[in-house]
Amino acid sequence: MSRAELHTIARSLVEGGRGILAADESTGTIGKRLEKIGVNNSEENRRAYRELLFTAPGLGESISGVICYDETLRQRALDGRSFVEVMQQNRMVPGIKVDTGAKALAGSAQEKVTEGLDGLRERLQEYHALGARFAKWRAVIEIAADLPTDYCLSVNAHALARYAALCQENGLVPIVEPEVLMDGDHTIERCYAVTSRSLQFVFAELYAQRVDLSGMLLKPNMVISASACRTQAGAEDVARLSLQCLRTHVPSIVPGIVFLSGGQSDERATEHLSLMNRLAPAAPWKLSFSYGRALQAAALKAWQGKSDQIAAAQSALLRRARFNAMAARGQYEPALEAA
């Protein structure tokens, strides 16, 4: 695939106020969510749930692409169509999670490094043949008294850049995700400092490893107070400091920034995105979303594993997707939640 084609796909994922549905939960993670609604974690139940998501009528009006788990990319709908075909027919680009998870970092056991580079070139070639056109790799950065270390930031940035370069070599747009976690009691100012440092490491490695920044997307955390922080920053501060951090560290050549929700409530994640787009209508990159739980939670609760609740679940998904598409255009208002 040419560079021009990679650029086109990257831009298409963030154009028109559309964003990305993250449906790449591992078997264990989706199992925990199914357990909460009393549904057995079988392959058929996972397949049925993903089918109701991907076949929601008109989902492609708000969702540009779907990040899948390996199992999901290979599954089929009840009518025989592959999920890749289902997504494409619903105007959504198939994507794939390719990392193998965060493991203890040698020499700094409190921190994590994301693994999965071994054999990645061959896996990317297979995923491209299956129909994937973009990929995702997540690094996990924890904040504590003496964390993160530069060592942790360095090894994770190096892995993200190696992954991104391999993706582009094999015709997939890389989504680069350095997530600074909300866990802890740190302030929004501390989150700003760590997020800034993380992005410095990431873009230095992306440059060093010759990644084409016009053919990738960044998936960062928002700059936000930790979940246990005594003083929670307001929505305006989250939007303002997130924008300030990104303007300082993200080159304008990057076509889009698709935020993760990172443990925020559905409504707060949407509100923060909308405020950012209002504050920066002429930002050099598109500001959109790549949400998992914040898009799916309402649908999963409505479904309850019952076939007669599929329409209700799809309606809940479409509602959240529509609100986030509005937020990507700066048009969402919290009052809409009560409508």
Chain centroid offset of residue 22 CA = 6
Nearest to 165, CA basis, from 213, 109, 123: 213
Q: CA nearest 24: which of 104, 111, 103, 132?
A: 132
Residues in the chain: 339
Rounded-to-integer distance, Cα 5 and Cα 28, Å: 35
**Burial of residue 281, with CB atoms counted within 10 A of its CB: 0-12 exposed, 13-18 middle, 19 or more buried:** exposed
| Catalytic position from the list 179, 219, 271, 286 | 219
| Integer Cα distance of 257 and 289 in angstroms | 8
| C-alpha separations of 94 from 9, 56, 324 in Å | 11, 15, 19
Torsion, CA 189, CA 192, CA 197, CA 203, rounded to 10: -170
Q: What whole-number distance in Å separates Cα of residue 222 and Cα of residue 108?
A: 25
Would you call 219 a catalytic residue per the annotation? yes
| 289 in Cβ contact with 257 (< 8 Å) | no
Say which residues have a Cβ less than 8 Å from residue 227's Cβ, sequence separation at least 6: 182, 183, 184, 263
Candidates 25, 177, 205, 271; catalytic one: 177
Q: Tell me whether residue 43 is one of the annotated catalytic residues.
A: no
Residues pairing with 217 in the sheet: 175
- CA distance linking residue 336 with residue 313, whole number of Å: 19
- Active site residues per annotation: 177, 219
